[in-house]
Amino acid sequence: MSLRGALAPSPLYILSALLYEPYTRIIMDADAPTLRALLARRDLRLSLAGDDLEPSAPDSALDKAIRWVHSSDLADPTPFLSEGLVLLTTGTQFPHGDDAPDVYRAYVGRLAARGVVGLGFGTEVVRAGIPPALVDACRDEQMPLFEVPYRTPFIAVARANAEAIAAEAYARRSWALAAQRAIALAALRPDGLGATVAELAKQLDTWVGMFDAAGELAREHPAGALDADTAAALQREVTGVLHRGARAGSSLHIGETPFTLQTLGRGGHLRGVIAIAAGDLDQEGRVVVTAVIAMAGLALEQQQGLGRARSALRAGLVQSLLSGDPGLARRTSRELWGPLPAAPVIVAVTDAAAARVDGIAELLELWADEKRGALFFGRGDDGLVLVVPADDPSSLHDLVDRFDVRIGMSDPAAYDAFAAALGQARVARDRGVGAVTAFAEVSRGGVLSALTDDARALARAELAPLHDHDAAQGTHLVQTLQVWLDADCSHEASAQSLGVHRHTVRTRLALIERVLGRDLSSFATRAELWAALRALDA
């Protein structure tokens, strides 16, 4: 082994040398530690062997990161190497002359298989120049080969790369600290969450969006940077993450765009998702994102407390409207959220389960802010109560499209009839068969259509003696009673409908009075029996 090879520095020696080197010598704006940057150092006087080896593509071999620079003159140093190294050699392991090209090809092939990203040949130590067979072998493997002149010690090359690595690491740490400081200052602004998202996007130089607990894009920077298809696909992914309810970080691709998703809040109580249009981040990038998640999570937890207070206040305003005096509700709503929807209004109520749907209140808060004066809501005794203008109930249909809820709507009403309108909405919700039911739809069925199972049970008991008599004696008392009542108690009309004589109708009615023990001349008796017959029909 040559003197130069024998004195080749070990990594420990290089690290020791760097510790003694004044830290101010690390150039903060140094290029990233790549072979291209190393070759650009004029003080090293390195030169690429064979200009045709240099690719022009940005992801070429010259632009791969160099993890370290090592030197060895072993015929097979690969057991002592790791990926991403540049190897320096003086060539003492090679035979003299160029009559053994297989030796060079095998040597370079082993280096390439091990993940070595470049080979430096020290000239004027053993060889006057680089062996042509080595140049050919490197060209075949697309292994960058460069000359290290005699005046440049190997340790200088190793130190230059170590300085670049240290400079890059220091620069990234400095960037992370500066980014965290900038984000912390942004969090102090009036719209802390929006400013934080914008600052994170600036620091990462990419798009960043924050989705709320309902899966709605609440904030983004830069605004409108995603096309409609990408934004829709991303929202579907975010909604899936929120529905799973577990804290998680994930990476995905939508088309050619990579995204990183990070949940906000505790498992089972997720408050939203931060989406970043970037793939895997380095350690410093993850540190910055973690800081944002921590601050955003804290801010959202604080907002949750405020949200509970707002919810209680809204519930109180609903009770104020139910009292028939909307003055308090009008004044409070005007100060906090804008005016109440102008009368006439539609009062709507969701099913009770809607009050437990995560994110529905957050979404309604956003809509109420966007549609000032066109939407009011608050919790009622058995669901969320919503108030919208009579000429624009679109918010109710939009809510059904987003959540699996059922809604009943009242007829248009003034605020002094709010309690009655809410009653109509409850009837529509409970009697309706669709997701959104208007009171007008169920009211067409009449009062008796709303009778409960209890009413039908009483009706069966009331008419049971007649059914039993018909079954035992073969009479037609139930049919006769129904026809007679539907004919406004006219004996003549009933006889025509039944195809019998009017005296037969009188005889049957007398029998009905004896069987039931009721007086059919009483209007109350007639009304009760008619209602019983209608209840069984329903």
User: How many Cα atoms occupy the beta-carbon half-sphere of 46 within 13 Å?
Assistant: 26
Query: Which architecture, in CATH terms, is 3-168?
Result: 3-Layer(aba) Sandwich (3.40)
pLDDT tier at 57, thresholds 50, 70, 90? very low
Q: Which residues pair with 413 in a beta bridge?
A: 345
Angle (nearest 5°) at CA 141 between 136 and 146 = 65
Of 312-321, 444-453, 516-525, which gets the smallest average pLDDT? 444-453
Q: 76 is written with which tokens? A: 């097979």
Q: How far apart are the first and last CA of the chain?
A: 105
Fold observed for domain 323-444? Alpha-Beta Plaits (3.30.70)
Q: What is the pLDDT of residues 474-532, one digit of tens each?
A: 898 989 999 998 888 888 888 998 889 888 989 999 999 898 888 888 888 888 888 88
Homologous superfamily (CATH) for 450-537:
PucR C-terminal helix-turn-helix domain (1.10.10.2840)
What would the mean pLDDT of 110-134 be, rounded to a whole number? 91
267 C-beta neighbours (distance < 10 Å), count: 11
pLDDT at residue 195 in the model? 83
Query: In 3D, which of 481, 433, 454 has the Cα closest to residue 535?
Result: 454
pLDDT tier at 287, thresholds 50, 70, 90? confident
In sequence order, what are the residues at sequence separation of 6 or more whose Cβ sits closer than 8 angstroms to the Cβ of residue 32? Answer: 65, 164, 168
**What distance in Å separates the CA atoms of residue 120 and residue 161, rounded to the nearest whole number?**
13
Fold observed for domain 188-303? Beta-Lactamase (3.30.450)
**What distance in Å separates the CA atoms of residue 417 and residue 397, rounded to the nearest whole number?**
24
What would the mean pLDDT of 110-122 be, rounded to a whole number? 94
Percent of the chain with pLDDT over 70: 86
Question: Where in the chain are the domains?
Answer: 3-168, 188-303, 323-444, 450-537
Q: 325 is written with which tokens? A: 């005096």
pLDDT at residue 450 in the model? 53
Same topology between domain 323-444 and domain 450-537? no
Identify the residue with better confidence: 34 or 248: 34
Sign (positive or negative) of CA dihedral 479, 484, 487, 493: positive
